[in-house]
Amino acid sequence: MRGRTPLVLRRAFSEPLLLFAAFGSILLATTTLVALTMYASTVAGAGVRRAMETASTRTTATTISAPVQRDTFAATEKAVRTRLGALGASDGHGPVPLDVTLSARSDSYALPGQEGLKHPELTRFATYDGLERQGRLLEGAWPRPAPQGVIEVAISQPAAQSMNLKAGDEFGIEGRLDHKTVRARLTGVFQLADPYADRWSGEELLRRGVERGGYTTYGPLMVPRETFLARFTATSVSVTWTAVPDLRDLTQERLRPFATVVANLGEDLKRDCPSCETFSRLPEMLTQLNQAALVARSTMLVPVLQLLLLAAYALVLTARLLVDHRRMEVALLRSRGAGSVWLAVLTGSEALLVAIPCAVIAPFLAPLLLRLVNAIPWIQAAGVRIAPEAGLATFTVSAAVALACAVLLMLPALRGGRRTYVEEQAARGRGDSQGLLQRAGGDVALLVVAALAIWQLQHYGAPVTATAGGDLGIDPLIVTGPALALLCGGMLGLRLVPRVSRIVERFTSRRPSLAPALGAWQVSRRPMRYSGPALLLTMAVAIGVVSMATSATWRTSQVDQARHQAGADLRVSGPVEAPELGPLGKGATFAALPGITEVNPVYRGTATFSDGAGTLLAADTAKLGPMLMLRADLAGHPVTTLAARLAAGRPGAPVVPLPGTPKKLTLDLRLRLDQPSLSAAYGDLSVRMVIVDALGVQWRVALGPLVADGKPHQVAVDLSALAGRSGKLSYPLGIRGFSVGVPIPATGTGLELVAEAVRTDTGAEVTMPGGVRWGHVARGVTNIPGEQVTTGPALFTLTVPAPKPSEDPIALEDVAVVAAPAGVPNADLFTQADGPSDGGEPAKAAIFRPLPVVITSDIAAREKLPEGGSGVLTLDGEPIRVTVAGVVQAMPGTPAGTAAVLADLPSLQAQDIALALDPRVAGEWWMSTRDGDTAAAVTALATHIEWDQAVVDLGSLTRRFRDDPLASGLQGALILGFAAALIFAVLGFLVNAAVAARERVAEFAILRALGVSFRQIFGLLAVEQAFLIGLSLVGGTLLAVGVASLVVPHIVLTGQAASVTPAVLLDVPWPATLGMLAGITALLFAIIAGLTRSLRRQGLGRALRIGDDR
């Protein structure tokens, strides 16, 4: 029976341990690489599909607008729908499904009773396809077509409330162009299912019911399409077709072709409809998504190549063990006439015997492995479920990997089968003497290639570079750089094994203990026996640490990006002036949200400099320190220091307080002209008062018009209206100042403006506090020779002398009246100072001192403004002298790569008031939350859609960055590579230790016969393996940190293959790393202990008789 068994089987099963090691290595390599290949392709496709499913309508929609009339509408719509229907058909996959809706608005109509007004309130008729599906009737019914007679209309609930209409009301409105009256009947009032959905982003009138601009428009009055075409297209009207594609089945391969088709849609449509205008963000979105998928695949190649290299070396090491164990057998076969070809066939058959089952099994094991990846929390959070199935491509990859493994298993055997029996006998027991310089040529070549790859990665900043055709492509040299660097570092460290072993031998030989000395001598005598396992373990540890560092760095970078983009825990922005939340009603309302601990008004404007423009951010810097999310390495000083420097430049401008908690103010104002006959020329005189609340929010209120008759007139100011219907005023309130726009006619006269009294609704009178006076200055063309402000019985009296005669009338000259410290002359208050305050009262009160700012480094470089320097920057079109309080690499709350200036908002507003300008009004509110938890506040904001606020929530932003399907795909690949690397290391160590122990059974038996105790033998093995383990763990960790610092920051990219902002910082999770190293150490020493117990069970006599048959 034994003779019938093929030689290849007898030979393979004669070494079950090494056969198991080879089978395990090939199966692990094949399964893991197949899983990674399936994962890379599947996660990219799943990520693309997820991005398509979650893309906003505003991003994916294509809009086509054209002016049409009744007789041209049919032809225009046919051309539009024909072109839209063919989208995507050019690539051979058929058209992409589209949801096309038509919307149109008529010309303006004056509201009932306002036909004769010069500036009436308006409304419009409109039609929108499918409105019945997007809205819910609250009363009445949807309108029916009415080609003639009374038109049936429906309006939204906000519009019905504003227009005071209910279902069943009939009214007539007059056209602004043709002055024809149209009768309409309101048949229904509806409410949009989601007024703030993306599809209504361009339909402000339909969404809010009112649109304010040059005119106030209510509505629209919605009618069926038939009614609109029959009644409102006699003249040209604008019609818009909105096409929303169903992108769920669009594969990654079709992204670029479909983006090109959509981008060319406008040009193609022009041939059939010259008046059609096309707009779409879809091509840009698809191009970015294609780039994101490419970036994801490129970064996932990094762990794949690292694992490929490790698997190859593990197989080579196993093959070397097999060759070393069979060297005498092969030599005997050669001495008996076996040729090289026969030995190659025998070795290849044995390798295929192991590899073929792995090629068959791996495609079925890989999906099971990927199911474990699905259980990873951050993969689950991304919403991507990987469920690949074994197909032809999977089996092809598996067969290719298994065949490559078989070749690697063959090569050492072919190389080692050249010695004769005599040569093998002479070589036995002789240690390998290869040293540091013997293979220096290969090491140097590998080092050069790895260095070049790392240099290119750092130079280009990504493994994705531009190709010759201008597209992005994966650079093969760059993606192999990390793997080559790990191999090169491991090999260079490996060459130090003989030197370190000799040092250890000299140290232990001086000690009385036998086991350490004997173990160190063994390592020193045969250092190359330990080099293979050491390199395998070193690379495995390095790959594990690099994987952990990459994963931790990626997660940290996502948090950093979210924090930088948000700027604060919560950021809310919206219209400055709105019916629900007025300019002075937001602060207290937002402060009352659950979980909010601090609110800060922020103004966002424009900063221009010599060769560019950027963003101006102005906030109450006294509150900004704990709120602003500026990463520490982006600035040379802590945020609190920078904020304190900005707040230190704030002028000491006082406020005239309003007593109590007033809802209304009444001002007694009197305007007298020196020459009453010129009153007609002063009819445009304007007076504005600046109110400030407890949060520092300032708002100008127009007072008037004033009658220049010299008599007191009461002017009422509704303070509660400044809060809005839902807002709350932040008390106490105060008056910051006044501005008066004085007309400068060709012939003018002097005037006197007296604020005789200011009273609250409770009757309390506003008085000047002690130590406060009114400062005044004229700003403009300086045609006024010298104005004066006095106080006395009246709150203030402004006396303006007659202007200088002028041939050309000048519109206005502004006079600012500002509350100021009593002891500060106007010259010190309003004159531009040359430097910062020196601590004296005049400089402290000066409004036009240089403004302290924090600027980004690009502005500092372009304008040559170092920290502490001064210059002029143009902020919102106004040149302002600034001093640089600090320079940062990037400014939180601004888009990546944007130059920015940060200033103190009260300081800027003080300058605005002193220039008689409207103070800059905060359009954003930045907030801090308790323990960073924004959920409760965001939920509360979501219940108030009528506030019309856009919310940037740090928590949601962090989840969006962290759960990006394409970006988070790298995490799964890293986990797979990390786990496989550790298994390879443990398997290689186990096999090497077992083989070495088996080969040395006789040696240990002799030691036992000479009186060496079992504990000493265990110590001997422990010393030998401790040298191997310690050197590998330390070397692998140091190598990983070095490679990670060079590589990892450059493979964490945005979806557009661009560097992230702020720059990536390497994050090595040392607690987890040390835990991993401790776990590996414990596992490997457990293997040593198990092998030692196995040796103990073997009898002494049996071990001593080994070899008697030779």
Q: Is residue 486 part of a domain?
A: yes
Any domain includes 258: no
With pLDDT > 90 as the criterion, what percentage of the chain qualifies? 32
590 located within any domain: no
Residues 6+ apart with CB under 8 A from 869: 883, 884
Mean pLDDT of 721-744: 90
Mean pLDDT across the stretch 37-59?
79
At residue 483's C-alpha, the angle toward residues 477 and 484, to 5°, is 65
Closest C-alpha among 454, 344, 453, 461 to residue 409: 344
Same domain, 817 and 860: no
In total, how many domains does the chain have? Answer: 4
Would you state the pLDDT for residue 501?
67
Same domain for 733 and 676?
Answer: yes
* pLDDT tens per residue, range 676-711: 888 887 776 788 999 999 999 999 998 977 888 888
Q: How many residues does the chain have?
A: 1110
Q: CA-CA distance, 358 to 783, in Å (whole number)?
A: 95
pLDDT at position 832 is 66
Do 820 and 873 fall into the same domain?
no
In angstroms, the CA 278 to CA 825 distance is 61
Residue written as tokens 């199911």?
A: 371
Domain boundary among 212, 246, 280: 246
Q: What is the pLDDT of residue 439?
A: 52
Q: Are residues 706 and 720 in the same domain?
A: yes
Token couple for 636: 């040379």
- pLDDT, average across residues 274-295: 86
Note the pLDDT of residue 414.
67
Q: For residue 220, is the peptide bond before it cis, meaning its omega torsion is within 30 degrees of 0?
A: yes
Is 1107 a residue whose pLDDT tops 70? no
Give the pLDDT score at 436. 41
Residues 986-1040 pLDDT 10s: 888 888 777 777 777 767 667 667 667 667 767 777 777 777 888 889 989 999 9
Paired tokens of 534? 């050491």
Per-residue pLDDT, 368: 83
CA-based nearest residue to 977, from 301, 464, 8, 499? 301
pLDDT in tens, 788-812: 888 778 889 999 888 776 665 555 6
CA dihedral for 542, 547, 552, 554, sign (positive or negative): positive
Please give the Cα distance from 726 to 733 (Å, whole number): 18
Mean pLDDT over 103-114 rounds to 90
What are the E-state strand segments in 610-685? Answer: 612-619, 656-657, 664-673
Asked which of 324-328, 419-423, 1060-1064 is least confident by mean pLDDT, the reply is 419-423
Please determine, for residue 835, whether its predicted confidence score (pLDDT) is greater than 60. no
Which tops the pLDDT comparison, 969 or 152? Answer: 152
Residues 321 and 366 in one domain: yes
DSSP tag of 84: H
Domain boundary among 830, 865, 885: 830
Q: Tens digit of pLDDT for each residue in 636-689? A: 999 999 999 999 888 888 999 999 999 999 999 999 998 888 888 777 678 899
pLDDT(1072) > 80: yes
And the tokens for 1046?
Answer: 């060079």
Confidence of residue 63 (pLDDT cuts 50, 70, 90): very high
Residue holding tokens 């341990």? 17
Q: What contacts 544, CB < 8 A, 6 or more positions away?
A: 978, 981, 982, 1036, 1040, 1076
Over residues 455-478, mean pLDDT: 72
So what's the pLDDT on residue 807? Answer: 61
Structure token digits, residue 494: 């490996």
pLDDT digits (tens, 9 = 90+) for 843-854: 455 787 889 999
Are 179 and 297 members of one domain?
A: no
Q: What share of the chain in percent tops pLDDT 70?
A: 81
1041, 1051 contact by CB (below 8 A)? no
- In the prediction, which pLDDT does 438 show? 46
Q: How far apart are CA 309 and CA 307, in angstroms?
A: 5
Same-domain check for residues 372 and 433 = yes
Round to whole Å and give the CA distance between 928 and 597: 6
Q: Say yes or no: 686 and 722 in one domain.
A: yes
Say which range, 194-208, 350-364, 529-543, 918-932, has the weakest mean pLDDT: 194-208
- Would you call 208 exposed, middle or buried from its count of C-beta atoms within 10 A (0-12, 13-18, 19+)? buried
Do 737 and 865 belong to one domain? Answer: no
Count other Cβ atoms within 10 Å, centred on residue 1108. 6
How far apart are the C-alpha atoms of 540 and 1037, rounded to whole Å? 10
Check residue 840 and give its pLDDT: 42
> Which CA distances in Å does 106 have to 161, 201, 236?
22, 19, 9
Q: What gap in Å lies between CA 456 and CA 481, rounded to an integer?
A: 9
* 274 within domain boundaries: no
Give me the pLDDT at residue 1110, please. Answer: 42
Mean pLDDT computed over every residue of the chain: 82
pTM value is 0.81
| Residue of 773, 824, 826, 828 whose CA lies nearest to 795 | 773
pLDDT tens digit string along 559-586?
999 999 999 999 999 888 877 899 999 9
What is the average per-residue pLDDT within 55-79? Answer: 90
Alpha-carbon distance of 970 to 990, in angstroms, equals 30
Q: How many CA atoms lie within 13 A of 116 on its CB side?
A: 1
pLDDT score for 950: 86
On whether residue 679 sits in a domain, the answer given is: yes
What is the per-residue pLDDT for 1109? Answer: 45
Residue 281 lies in a domain: no
Per 3-state DSSP, what percentage of the chain is helix, strand, and coil (rounded to 5)? 50, 20, 30
- Closest by CA to 209, choosing from 189, 229, 226, is 189
- The answer to whether residues 168 and 110 belong to one domain is yes
For residue 820, tell me if it sits in a domain: yes
Mean pLDDT, rounded, for 896-915: 91
Look up the domain containing 93 and give its range: 56-246
Q: Same domain for 340 and 304?
A: yes
- pLDDT for 435 beyond 60: no
pLDDT of residue 19: 76
Chain center to CA of 387: 28
Q: Is residue 469 part of a domain?
A: yes
Dig out the tokens for 385 from the structure. 């479920």
What b/e string do you get for 327-364 counting C-beta neighbours within 10 Å, with b at 16 or more? Answer: beebbebbeeeeeeeebeebbbbbbbbbbeebbebbbe
> Where is the domain boundary, 923, 949, 972?
923
pLDDT, mean of residues 500-512: 66
pLDDT score of 385: 65
In 429-536 the beta strands, taken as DSSP E runs, fall at: 464-466, 472-474
pLDDT band at 841 (very low <50, low <70, confident <90, very high): very low
Q: How far apart, in Å, are the Cα atoms of 803 and each of 308, 501, 678, 755, 826? A: 87, 99, 13, 22, 21
Q: Judge whether residue 105 has pLDDT over 80.
A: yes
The reply to whether 619 and 676 lie within a common domain is: no
CA distances (Å), 632 to each of 404, 707, 723, in order?
Answer: 49, 58, 38
Q: Cite the DSSP H helix spans in 784-926.
A: 826-830, 841-845, 857-863, 905-914
Residue-by-residue DSSP string for 432-461: P---TTTTHHHHHHHHHHHHHHHHHHHHHS
